[in-house]
Amino acid sequence: MKRPLAALLGILLVLSICVGCGPKGDISSGVAEQDFPVTVNEVTIQDEPKGVVVLSPNLAEVIMALGYEMQLCGKGAACTQEDLSVLPDMTLDDPQSILGVGADLVLTEDAPSEEQKKGLNDAGIDVVTIAPATSREDFTRLYREVGSCMMGGVKGYERGEKIAEGIFSTIDDISRQIPQTDTPVSVCYLYDVEGGVVTGDTLEGKLIECAGLINAASDGAGNHMDVETLLMVQPQYIFCPTGLKDTLTQTDQYKNLTAVQEGRVYEMDPSLMEWQGNGVISAVSFMAGTVYPSLAEGTTSLEPEGGESQTPTGGNSDMEVGDVTSDPEQPEGDSLKLGDEGDAVKNLQLRLAELGYLFVQPTGLYGEGTQQSIMDFQYVNNLRITGVADEETVNRLFAADAQPRPEGSLIYSADE
C-alpha cells in the first residue's frame, strides 16, 4: 500500500511542478530565464540576431530610443528618420535582399501574409509582428518586446522596461510643472479634416492628459470623431500636423470651431503623435508649453529634491536649487551626454532653465528631458543638433548672447 501511495505522490509532485510552466524564453508573462532562445509573440528567436531589418517607422523610433540602431541593416521605405537614411529599403517580399545585407530578423507592425512568412522562414529569417502601444502600460510592453527581440529575454527585456519607464518618468516631471487651475482646458489633435482625431482609447490620448489638458475627443474611438460632435464639444485649442492649418481654416465645417475662429490652431511635427520613441516627450512638452506659456518661458515652479521650491525665469539671478545658485558655473572638460550625472550636469540644467529651455527638475542627471532641452537650444542657436552638450554647445549656452527659448513652444524634432 505504501509503494502505490508513494508513486502517486511522486506523480502529483511532477505535475504540480510542470503546471503553468511555459518555454523558458517566452516573455509573454514576464522576463525570461535566459536571453536566447527567446519567444516573442509566438515567434522563437534561437540566437542573438546578426542583423535586423525594421519596416515600421514607429518600431524604428523605439529601436533608436533603446540605443540599438547599430544592429539595423535595412529599413522600410516609410522609415524616413534622418539617422536611418543610409540604410537600404527592404520589403517582406524579398528575402534574398534581406539576407544580402546580413539580417536574419525582421520587425514589423503589419503581419506578413502566409506566403511572405514561408519565404522568410525558408530563408532562415525570423519575422516578428509587434503592435504599437495603446496605453502607458502597453508602452512598456512595446519596449520589452522590441528589446527582447534584439538583445534577448533578459538583457533586452530589462533595458526595454528601463527605457520605457524613463521616458514616462520624464513626462511625469513635465506634468508636475503644469500650473494648477480650476478651469480645465479642452484641446484636440486633428489628423485631417475627415474625422481623424486622437481619441481617448489611444496612447496619444493619454499624452494629451499628461500635458494637463482635457481631450475633447476622449469619448471617440479608433482615432475618429464626426465633425458634428466636435462642433458640440468646441475644444479651446486645436493641434494638428504641420501643413494642415490652412486646410482647416478653409474647410466649411471646421471654420465653425471656436479655436479656428480665434486663431488657436497649432501645427506640430506629425511624428510626435505618430511614433512612440523619445518624441512622445516632445509631444507633451509642445502641447503643455503652448497652452501654458509660462512653461516655455521657464516661469513655473519646480520642486527639487528635499522639497524646496524654485522659480526659473529668463535671467533670474536669484534662483536657487539646493546649494547651487542661479549663476551656474560653466562645466569644463568632456562633453556631457545622456546618462551622465553630477554637479556639471546640474549647472548645465540650471543654465538651460534660465534661458527657458528646461521643463524638468534640475537633479544633476542628464536624462531624456535634458537631452531634448539641449536639442532645442542647439536648434535655436544654429548649432549641430546632437542632444550632446559638447564644448561648442556649452560655450554658446553660457555666452552672454545665448538665444533664449522663443515665446510659444518651439521643440526640435529630427524631421525639421
- Residue matched to cell numbers 529630427: 414
Question: Is 48 strand, coil or helix?
Answer: coil
The Cα 341–Cα 343 span in angstroms is 7
Model confidence band, residue 369 (pLDDT cutoffs 50, 70, 90): confident
Model confidence band, residue 7 (pLDDT cutoffs 50, 70, 90): low
The Cα 350–Cα 367 span in angstroms is 14
pLDDT tens track for 71-93: 999 999 999 998 899 999 999 99
The Cα 215–Cα 185 span in angstroms is 9
Tell whether the model's pLDDT for residue 119 goes beyond 50: yes
pLDDT tens track for 31-67: 999 999 999 999 999 999 999 999 999 999 999 989 8
pLDDT recorded at residue 17: 40
Tell whether the model's pLDDT for residue 308 goes beyond 60: no
Residues 76/147, Cβ–Cβ less than 8 Å: no
Q: Hey, how many other C-beta atoms are within 10 angstroms of the C-beta on 348?
A: 29
Q: Quick one: which of 384, 414, 372 has its CA closest to 82?
A: 414
The Cα 150–Cα 196 span in angstroms is 34
Continuous segment of H or E residues that includes residue 122: helix 114-122
Q: Quick one: which of 316, 398, 310 has its CA closest to 362?
A: 310
Model confidence band, residue 233 (pLDDT cutoffs 50, 70, 90): very high
pTM above 0.85, yes or no: no
Q: Hey, how many other C-beta atoms are within 10 angstroms of the C-beta on 73?
A: 21
pLDDT recorded at residue 20: 39
pLDDT recorded at residue 5: 52
Model confidence band, residue 303 (pLDDT cutoffs 50, 70, 90): very low
Q: Who wins on pLDDT, 14 or 165?
A: 165
Residue 157 burial (C-beta neighbours within 10 Å; 0-12, 13-18, 19+): buried
Tell me what the mean pLDDT of segment 109-121 comes to: 97
Residues 214/184, Cβ–Cβ less than 8 Å: yes
The Cα 287–Cα 181 span in angstroms is 16
Q: Fill in the amino acid letter for 140.
A: T
The number of C-alpha atoms within 13 Å of 48 and in the hemisphere containing its C-beta is 10
Q: Hey, how many other C-beta atoms are within 10 angstroms of the C-beta on 249?
A: 14
Residues 266/239, Cβ–Cβ less than 8 Å: yes
Q: Is the dihedral of CA 283, 288, 294, 300 positive or negative?
A: negative
pLDDT recorded at residue 116: 98
Q: Kindly state the DSSP code that residue 180 receives in the 8-state scheme.
A: P
Task: Annotate 296-326 with DSSP letters as a single string.
Answer: HTT-S-B--TTS--B---TT-TT-EETTEES
pLDDT tens track for 389-398: 999 999 999 9
Q: Who wins on pLDDT, 267 or 313?
A: 267
Model confidence band, residue 297 (pLDDT cutoffs 50, 70, 90): low
pLDDT tens track for 316-350: 323 333 333 457 899 988 899 988 889 999 999 99
The Cα 342–Cα 301 span in angstroms is 22
